[in-house]
Amino acid sequence: MDENAPIRVYMTRKLIGVSPDDPVKRACEVMMEFDIGSLVVVENGEVVGFFTKTDIIRRVVIPGKPNTTPVREIMTKKLITADANAPLREVLDTMAKKRIKHILISENGKIVGIFSLSDLLTASRRKLETAIAAE
């Protein structure tokens, strides 16, 4: 990993989204299908919310809400973003300070990707593979 490289190098461009009216159960199934820990909520082509497995635990399981609860009731509307040109170390620092494991990446005011700690694992492996290949 090059901690000075822009986060765009490490982010995932494919955003997986659900509708605000989708039930929590459907959102969970999408998370399991794609093996991801967060989803964006999209309405009329705009990202209107975001939520993670932690939000589901905190806002559905603990209060005992049914899995038919619509996503809009549990999503976070205030999006935390990092600029696509921000260096990896700055983004990691923000994530550590805010204690978050996923962050949306924006460019010219538009959400263009997401970065998660799993991407750090991928980056770490990639570096390792490069190192082995160079031996």
* 3-state class (DSSP) for residue 34: helix
Nearer to a second copy among residue 35 and residue 109 (C-beta): 35
Site size for a second copy, by CB under 8 A? 36
CB of 110 to a second copy, least distance (A): 26
For residues 128 and 112, what is the distance between their CA atoms, to the nearest angstrom? 27
**Using CB under 8 A, which of the segments 9-17, 75-83, 90-98, 103-111 binds a second copy?**
90-98
Question: What is the C-alpha end-to-end distance of the chain, expressed in Å?
Answer: 17
Nearer to a second copy among residue 28 and residue 79 (C-beta): 28
Are 24 and 67 in contact by the 8 Å Cβ rule? The answer is yes
Report in angstroms the alpha-carbon separations of 25 from 31, 55, 56, 65, 88.
10, 13, 10, 11, 33
Which parts of 27-66 interact with a second copy (CB under 8 A)? 28-29, 31-32, 35, 37, 53-54, 56-58, 60-62, 64, 66
Nearer to a second copy among residue 95 and residue 105 (C-beta): 95
